[in-house]
Amino acid sequence: MNRLKGIVLAGVILFMGVIVVSAADFKVYPGAKVDEKLTKEANDFAARSVAGSKMAAPKATIYTTGDAYEKVYSFYKSVGKEYQMPGTSGRKNTLPSGKELKSSFFIFDGAIDLMSSKLWIKIQRPYIDTEMREGPDMTYIIVSTKN
């Protein structure tokens, strides 16, 4: 009986620890600022894309920083679980301007992929808007949350 209580208690503590760690791991990159205009555009686009369906649109918050993509990547690599999009390993994406499009995904809630995650981010440099236009040469942190 005591052994069973110990196993149950250990399971509860482990589960609670996972919840606390998952919620605490996400941090906004130091010095990054919310881009209100891009955040609104992204949320409006998401709302339009699910209009008429039973799906809830995820909520986006877009942050920008002038810091190098590699510096932001290193920061999130230390606090999140990197997610590799299928079929993208080792591929370079070049924009019409000749710039390389760099992007990475990180999951913060223990989910196995982006579809099942309730909290993930994409870091990208430069930003590509909903009209497929290239934005300023900054590093963008796109935070996606769903209920």
- Residues 28, 129: Cα–Cα separation, whole Å: 21
- Residues 126, 137: Cα–Cα separation, whole Å: 5
Average pLDDT by stretches of 10, the chain with 147 residues: 38 38 70 94 88 84 96 95 80 82 93 93 88 87 91
In which element (H, E) is residue 120 found? strand 119-125
SS3 label, residue 147: coil
115: its two tokens: 């579809």
- Residues 22, 114: Cα–Cα separation, whole Å: 15
The identity of residue 60, as a single letter, is A
Residue 64: which of 117, 145, 146, 135 has the closest Cα? 135
Res 5: pLDDT: 38
Task: Give the predicted TM-score (pTM) of the model.
Answer: 0.77
Show me where the domains of the chain are located.
2-145
